[in-house]
Structure 1
């Protein structure tokens, strides 16, 4: 009998997993760790620390509440769901029953996966305005659906409603609405969102509204009303919305968000939640409750700081002309910089900048075909790191 080790059998990986990939946003920092000495314009993580009053509230809960380290109710702590419903009513003018129409999730990411697995059947098409958040497309693929990338308006990264309408087919099931947008920083005009709502009613489509950055619109006073599909009663069963506490309250590592939907949808969504997460981390729910019910001056301070960082980013991109062009971001904390010095694909350029300038960016092609020939730059980090990153890019392009 031979003592040779038999060859390993190839893994039989499910097609739904073979069809998806780790996002370039997560990949680039992993590559940077091997390079060393890099500064980041990559992953969208604001530099702010979790506000003190949130940390203190969590510490109190851990000391005084014996249930703080246990599972919460499956859809989330009742007090948090009530606070979320009150916040949506105050900011969006929409009423959701906290008992049956709010679900607390492991970040907005879990909420989005819940929606895709509940709404999308195999072969269903989901329209994604492009460039769009990379994980939206991967989540559609994981649900065995077909992502359909429809270009945004290049002049302002606004919604092209005519192009969306032209992309609708008998297989179209849903449209993703993300405004302010990641990766573009674009903000959809109210009239265009209203037209999208009309289209959803006309063609019996679901609008998946990702409101992660709805608090961050430049040039508008906080609380300025913007049209939201969730505020329209006739769209009650056509809209499912998600939001996150991660960016607004500097809680990225706490992993807590929520989904809001008509009770009929919520009953189905929570089946997926139960099978995947059971409940969001209870300690993180205490953090979210403190964030919503506590003072909001921390959010105002972060908005002010991000506005300064946006202006710095725009000045530095202006100085990089003609090597880069860009659309000034109207919201969130991202800019899509189009490079003009090479015809190489965006991953090649991003890796060159990483290895030669030691600056992390995210290749625009990872956000859909319209993102190619761009690099996404996040200006969430502090001004010193922003300045260092742009200084390195300036020296790098000067040597090209």
Structure 2
């Protein structure tokens, strides 16, 4: 007989790493809402747009005509796609990366972010996160057994505070994660603030991981400058981007990372161990997105701007219950609620259960987020209208 008794539960338990991580509130709130039923969403950051038809057509044609389209690609991605990404980075940002050795296609920006954290963060290393910040940035640092260190954004406008970053630096600091436009705040960081943080990275020999997922969607201002363009920063930056939001490819799971060759060599080790390569059909979708008409991006950006304006108008109508900073980019608003002193998780849960509206508790985005709800205006205008109608009835009934 086996030394394990028949029917005895195995003595397995989660690793130290997995016990440091929790499912993010961004994913948890829709799960709660699914149990409640009948909810409308201002929650998860998924724009409502369908994948553009020319991308669907291109991938369908490739799958029919190219037998290799259902097989693995090269580990760093299809050469034609990497070349197209290099051209976009050069044209839009003045960043020159070799498509052969300095660009890799990943399973969305999320895998690229995880590659960067796992490649360069050891147990006990500190990673500075300007906060409120994307919840997954926190979780990925913890998964690597690193230590998230929060540098508060300026509360008046959620802008980047270089002095707060300076105060957060210690001998154990390894990296800084920057995201502009930001999730969850929608802030586009000022160039002077970004330059000051890059100077700190240079002075203290720090890596900068730049999450540029929302760079394409800004309102009344140009695309933000990438940290990698500042003097001396190319050699210490990992630039990460995604096709998910820009081209309505969230379910296709395709993104990329760009870095100087010595950094990329280490990034590819993690990529190989975790994914081998991004899905080849998704890479064909990304190539079709870059090589096809770009007016679809402009149309989606204009629709998001209309939705932003709608969301701000509806919040203005509820000014007795909320205040907020109008976002300069992305499709999120951090709204501070004034009708309760309860923790944001409790408020967000009650909104689901009593008003049938999904929001994301601000406390899940680190210091500065508590007392807020993150609202996404990625949904259709009719859904935004209905969500605010329900919120309005709910807060007024409580008053």
Looking at structure 1, the residues matched to 387 and 123 of structure 2 have their Cα atoms a distance apart, in angstroms, of 43
Residue 280 of structure 1 is matched in structure 2 by 278
Question: Does residue 91 of structure 2 align to residue 93 of structure 1?
Answer: no
Q: State the TM-score, normalized to the length of structure 2.
A: 0.97
The gaps in structure 1 that reach 5 residues or longer are: none
String of CA shifts for 1:39-75, please: whole Å, max 9, x gaps: 0000000000000111111011101111110000000
Question: Does residue 307 of structure 2 align to residue 306 of structure 1?
Answer: no
String of CA shifts for 1:84-117, please: whole Å, max 9, x gaps: 0000000110100000000000000000110001
Looking at structure 1, the residues matched to 327 and 66 of structure 2 have their Cα atoms a distance apart, in angstroms, of 43
Looking at structure 2, the residues matched to 23 and 71 of structure 1 have their Cα atoms a distance apart, in angstroms, of 31
Looking at structure 2, the residues matched to 77 and 7 of structure 1 have their Cα atoms a distance apart, in angstroms, of 48
Q: Helix, strand or coil: the match of 2:129?
A: strand
Looking at structure 1, the residues matched to 371 and 163 of structure 2 have their Cα atoms a distance apart, in angstroms, of 24
String of CA shifts for 1:148-182, please: whole Å, max 9, x gaps: 11110111110011011011000000001100000
String of CA shifts for 1:3-53, please: whole Å, max 9, x gaps: x98663553211000000111000111110100000000000000000011
Question: Does residue 350 of structure 2 align to residue 349 of structure 1?
Answer: no
Q: Residue 92 of structure 1 contacts residue 230 of structure 1 at CA under 8 Å; is this kept in 2?
A: no
In the TM superposition, what is the alpha-carbon distance from 1:293 to its structure 2 partner? 1.0
Looking at structure 1, the residues matched to 200 and 393 of structure 2 have their Cα atoms a distance apart, in angstroms, of 48
Q: Helix, strand or coil: the match of 1:67?
A: helix
Q: Residue 189 of structure 2 contacts residue 224 of structure 2 at CA under 8 Å; is this kept in 1?
A: no
In the TM superposition, what is the alpha-carbon distance from 1:235 to its structure 2 partner? 1.5
In the TM superposition, what is the alpha-carbon distance from 1:369 to its structure 2 partner? 2.0
The gaps in structure 2 that reach 5 residues or longer are: none
Question: Equivalent residues in 2 for 1:137-176 (5 A)?
Answer: 137-176=138-177
Residue 233 of structure 2 is matched in structure 1 by 235
String of CA shifts for 1:297-332, please: whole Å, max 9, x gaps: 000000110000000000000111121110011110
| Number of aligned residue pairs | 394
Q: 2:358 aligns with which of 357, 360, 376?
A: 360
Question: Equivalent residues in 2 for 1:330-345 (5 A)?
Answer: 330-345=328-343
In the TM superposition, what is the alpha-carbon distance from 1:197 to its structure 2 partner? 1.0
Q: Helix, strand or coil: the match of 1:259?
A: strand
String of CA shifts for 1:192-238, please: whole Å, max 9, x gaps: 11111111110000010000000011113xxx354322223521221
Q: Residue 245 of structure 1 contacts residue 251 of structure 1 at CA under 8 Å; is this kept in 2?
A: yes
Looking at structure 1, the residues matched to 36 and 391 of structure 2 have their Cα atoms a distance apart, in angstroms, of 16
Residue 181 of structure 1 is matched in structure 2 by 182
Question: Equivalent residues in 2 for 1:281-296 (5 A)?
Answer: 281-296=279-294
Residue 49 of structure 1 is matched in structure 2 by 50
Question: Does residue 199 of structure 2 align to residue 201 of structure 1?
Answer: no
In the TM superposition, what is the alpha-carbon distance from 1:349 to its structure 2 partner? 0.2
Aligned-residue CA RMSD (Å): 1.2
Residue 316 of structure 2 is matched in structure 1 by 318
Q: Residue 38 of structure 1 contacts residue 359 of structure 1 at CA under 8 Å; is this kept in 2?
A: yes
Question: Equivalent residues in 2 for 1:373-392 (5 A)?
Answer: 373-392=371-390
Residue 266 of structure 1 is matched in structure 2 by 264
Q: Helix, strand or coil: the match of 1:369?
A: coil
**Which stretch has the larger CA shift, 319-328 or 101-110?**
319-328
Question: Does residue 115 of structure 2 align to residue 119 of structure 1?
Answer: no
Looking at structure 2, the residues matched to 109 and 76 of structure 1 have their Cα atoms a distance apart, in angstroms, of 16
Q: Residue 180 of structure 2 contacts residue 224 of structure 2 at CA under 8 Å; is this kept in 1?
A: no
Looking at structure 1, the residues matched to 9 and 71 of structure 2 have their Cα atoms a distance apart, in angstroms, of 42
Residue 102 of structure 1 is matched in structure 2 by 103
Looking at structure 2, the residues matched to 10 and 345 of structure 1 have their Cα atoms a distance apart, in angstroms, of 36
Q: Helix, strand or coil: the match of 2:110?
A: helix
Looking at structure 2, the residues matched to 356 and 225 of structure 1 have their Cα atoms a distance apart, in angstroms, of 40
Looking at structure 2, the residues matched to 161 and 396 of structure 1 have their Cα atoms a distance apart, in angstroms, of 40
Question: Does residue 372 of structure 2 align to residue 371 of structure 1?
Answer: no
Q: State the TM-score, normalized to the length of structure 1.
A: 0.97
Q: Residue 188 of structure 2 contacts residue 224 of structure 2 at CA under 8 Å; is this kept in 1?
A: no
Question: Does residue 73 of structure 2 align to residue 62 of structure 1?
Answer: no
